[in-house]
Amino acid sequence: MSKGELEVLLVDAEGLAGADVTGMIDPYVVIQYRDKERKSRIARNQGRNPLWNQTLKFPVYSSVINNPIQHKLTLRIMDYDTITADDFIGQATIHVGEVIALGMEKGIAELPPTKYRVVLEDKHTGMASPVLLMGALFLSSMVVFAFPDDVRAEHTGTTRHYSFDIRMANVSRLCATKSILTVNGEFPGPRIVAREGDRVVVKVTNLAQYNLTIHWHGVRQLRSGWADGPAYVTQCPIQTGHNYVYNFTVVGQRGTLFWHAHVSWLRATLYGPIIILPKLGVPYPFAKPYKEVPIIFGEWWKADTEAIISQALQTGGGPNVSDAYTINGLPGPLYNCSAKDTFKLKVKPGKTYLLRLINAAVNDELFFSIANHSVTVIEVDAVYVKPFDAETILISPGQTTNVLLHAKPTYPNATFFMMARPYATGSGTFDNSTVAAVLEYRKPHSSSAAGFDKNLPLYKPTLPAFNDTSSAANFTSKLRSLATALFPANVPQTVDRRFFFTVGLGTRPCSKNQTCQGPNGTKFAAAVNNISFVSPTTALLQAHFTGRSNGVYTPDFPVVPLMPFNYTGAPPNNTMVSNGTKLVVLPFNTSVELVMQDTSVLGAESHPLHLHGYNFFVVGQGFGNYDPVNDPAKFNLVDPVERNTIGVPASGWVAIRFLADNPGVWLMHCHIEAHMSWGLRMGWLVLNGRLPNQKLPPPPSDLPKC
């Protein structure tokens, strides 16, 4: 085994509310284990244990403890290479030698020693072993942490509790400091880590001035639609000073997803990874990586993003573009004042690294490449794919991609940029800048302090041009489901309902006595089948569940465009959209085929469409107008890629299939936030089935009120 983590819950400890705890624990360790002859042994060493051959250190990551009832604490074991999962048979007592506590205002908490259960996990194989630890963690003459008997971490089927306190925090980027929305003061936000089959419970407390929601992007939410998160679709926003508990189970998924705010543009800074590990004992279907690293792409504005979109909607023009892209919250050395704000991936020669790529950018699809390295694509949107090598990755907002980075076998005497820049197909302005992180190699036989040389040549990758649709299509065409016995591609082979949706931009009229900045004095709009979505003031799911839909929505979303035209040819003279809150109603277990067609109205453009509550199979795609007579014969019904967000090609179309087996109201929208703000969204209402396990349960008692 290599590195691992202990995840435990901090429970009621008087005096810790508001404490900011950070530091390094150097423990005294007593552990019972089996030796090579399988005899029971006891090992005791102050800070240094012969089993590890290194000093054991448990860093306590900076955590603001605002909830004295419960708070997750992560302890990481740095090295235990000589111990296997079967070696742990007994007990360990950990006494903390020194921890720095900041902001302590309420004195010392006196708590007795207690028992707690944790798991030591090999992060590279997903294998884990339960260990019973006895005793307490002692803050040297300061405080005692205690953990309950029933806390279990890293077990399949366990319940994982998280506390998200939404608060403002000052963050400095690009020579300036501004106040941004964060979770627990972190930017990007904390990781959600679970196993397939685990239940996740997240208490979100809104301490900010904005009413908001959190969406668990890509989680199927089987019969848990109340926890999906889009504002005024499955819930009303959490008001300032209130909280809501999101409660859902991860079913049939493993890989990388992410969470983000789902109101207005608040997700510009409110986002973080969701890491779903396989079930215990189930290995990855690829060679185990040495280490796993989330890589989250974002966008940064110097100005307040809420003011930006508010002004754009008022004037009808396009919103101001971002000032920088970020990797793990950092803009990198290609931007002013940002050399110190650069993410560095430090690797060892000959090792393989699993990079969990997440595009949390607000408005831009991105090309990503690492200089002088190729990667192996092995998963998208938490679904395994047939592995293939690529020098450049295309990743759209809302998409995730897992890749294996194979470090060079020998020390290369160089460092390498990891760079991303936009893939932009529309006629509007966009942030045409480039974000860079650095890949550094550790010198062989060197200590961690002196293992990296800053005076080496730095190589840059060659990225496609911003409008290189050929490179984009070449990448997406290689994606295929793994389609094995263990990970089948359950593509609907027959179709009950077929739909044809146009997706694209349009206009709406300017208000009287106002000068608008959209095309020809109008306001920008966006629509599906020429219907621009109007957000209701009551949550759609609540209106449906209570039978009070009158005045909230109508169940008559058109299945085809009401006014057909040459979608990729000359645009029609009338570019005005209709407005409405309309849903498609589907009986439970309906098999659906949906073709989404880009239009040339106001210019052809790629649109990454995200479907809530479902994965779908991308059975076909192409350029030009969809041909319903000839194109279906080319559909891939054997191993199409399965995902939750798909780019509708510029001047092209994409065909998807899914089985409507999840009752509820599910939003489908463009994940370019400007387009979503203009109305490029619609909803699916999937009715209950006949059996109890085919029905949506009632809403939780703490569901936010409008």
Q: What is the three-state SS of 402-425? A: EEEEECCCCCCCCEEEEEEEEECC
**pLDDT over threshold 70, residue 276:** yes
- To the nearest whole number, what is the mean pLDDT of the chain? 82
- Phi/psi at 192 (5° precision): -100, 120
| One-letter amino acid for residue 703 of the chain | L
Q: What is the pLDDT of residue 84?
A: 38
660 beta partners: 590
Is the overall model pTM greater than 0.85, yes or no?
A: no
Query: How is 163-216 classified by DSSP, letter by letter?
Result: EEEEEEEEEEETTEEEEEEEETTBSSPPPEEEETT-EEEEEEEE-SSS-B-EEE
DSSP 520: G
Nearest to 229 by CA among 255, 248, 210, 249: 248
In this structure, the number of other CB atoms found within 10 A of the CB of residue 705 comes to 12
Phi, psi at 513, each rounded to 5°: 60, 30
What are the tokens at 605?
């453009």
The residues that bridge with 282 in the sheet, in sequence order, are none
State the pLDDT at residue 428.
Answer: 87
* Cis-peptide into 587, omega within 30 deg: no
CB within 8 A of 536, min separation 6: which ones? 232, 543, 552, 553, 581
Percentages helix, strand, coil for the chain (3-state, rounded to 5) are: 5, 45, 50
Q: How many CB atoms are located within 10 Å of the residue 377 CB? A: 20
Query: Could you give the CA distance from residue 153 to residue 9 in angstroms, rounded to a whole number?
Result: 9
What is the Cα–Cα distance from 357 to 294, expressed in whole angstroms? Answer: 6
pLDDT at residue 460 in the model = 98
User: Residues near 116 by Cβ (< 8 Å), separated by ≥ 6?
Assistant: 8, 133, 146, 147, 148, 149, 151
Classified as helix, coil or strand, 604 is: coil
Confidence of residue 39 (pLDDT cuts 50, 70, 90): low
Pairing mode of beta strands 159-173, 199-206: parallel
Q: What is the pLDDT of residues 219-230, one digit of tens each?
A: 999 999 999 999
Find the mean pLDDT for residues 352-366. Answer: 98
Rounded CA gap, 425 and 524, in Å?
17
CB atoms within 10 A of CB 693: 7
Burial class (CB in 10 A: 0-12, 13-18, 19+), 125: middle
Closest to 652 (Cα-Cα) out of 619, 623, 627, 621: 623
pLDDT confidence bin for 129, thresholds 50/70/90: very low
Q: So what's the pLDDT on residue 105?
A: 26
Q: Would you say residue 4 has pLDDT above 60? A: no
What integer pLDDT is reported at residue 297 of this predicted model? 98
Q: Is the pLDDT of residue 53 over 60?
A: no
382-421 pLDDT tens trace = 999 999 999 999 999 999 999 999 999 999 999 999 999 9
Q: Given pLDDT bands bounded at 50, 70 and 90, which one contains residue 203? A: very high
Share of the chain above pLDDT 70, in %: 77
DSSP SS3 for 474:
helix
Query: In angstroms, rounded to a whole number, what is the distance separating the alpha carbons of residues 31 and 56?
Result: 12
pLDDT score, position 218? 98
Tell me, what's the pLDDT at 205?
98
Q: What is the mean pLDDT of residues 27-42?
A: 44
**Closest Cα partner for 702 from 250, 262, 240, 235?**
235
Q: What is the pLDDT of residue 149?
A: 26
- Helix H or strand E segment including 657: strand 652-660
The pair phi, psi for residue 237, each rounded to 5°, is -65, 155
- What's the pLDDT score for residue 157? 78
Q: Which of 593, 597, 649 is nearest to 627 (CA)?
A: 597
Comparing 89 with 405, the larger pLDDT belongs to 405
Residue 600 has pLDDT above 80, yes or no: yes
Query: What sign for the dihedral angle of Cα 11, 16, 20, 24?
Result: negative
Q: How far is CA 498 from CA 560, 653, 657, in A?
A: 9, 15, 9
* Residue found by looking up tokens 């004037």 in the block: 315
CB-based burial label for 477 (10 Å; 0-12, 13-18, 19+)? exposed
- Among 331, 328, 324, 470, which Cα is nearest to 392's? 470
Identify whether the C-beta of residue 97 lies closer than 8 Å to the C-beta of residue 28. yes
Q: Which helix (H) or strand (E) holds 545?
A: helix 540-545
Handedness of CA 200, 201, 204, 205 (dihedral sign): negative
Quick one: tokens of 524? 């920008």
Question: DSSP string of 236-250?
Answer: PPBPTT-EEEEEEE-
Give the pLDDT confidence of 454-487 residue by residue, as tens digits: 789 999 999 999 999 999 999 999 999 999 999 9
pLDDT tens-digit readout, 61-85: 333 333 333 333 333 333 333 333 3
Task: Locate 673 and state its tokens.
Answer: 């936030």
> Residue 552 and residue 536: Cα distance in Å, rounded?
6
> What is the C-alpha R_g of the chain?
26
Residue 578, Cβ neighbours under 10 Å: how many? Answer: 17
Mean pLDDT of 99-103: 25
Q: What letters, b where the CB count within 10 A reaches 16 and e where it falls short, cover 440-458?
A: bbbeeeeeeeeebeeeeee
pLDDT in tens, 427-455: 889 999 999 999 999 987 765 555 666 78
DSSP-based three-state secondary structure for 695:
coil
Mean pLDDT computed over 273-280: 96
Which of 391, 421, 414 minimizes the C-alpha distance to 403?
A: 391
**Token reading at 246:** 């999101």
Phi-psi region of 608 (alpha: psi -120 to 50; beta: other; left: phi over 0): beta
- Give the CA distances from residue 226 to residues 293, 360, 641, in Å, rounded to whole numbers and listed in that order: 31, 23, 28
**402 contacts 448 by C-beta, under 8 angstroms:** no
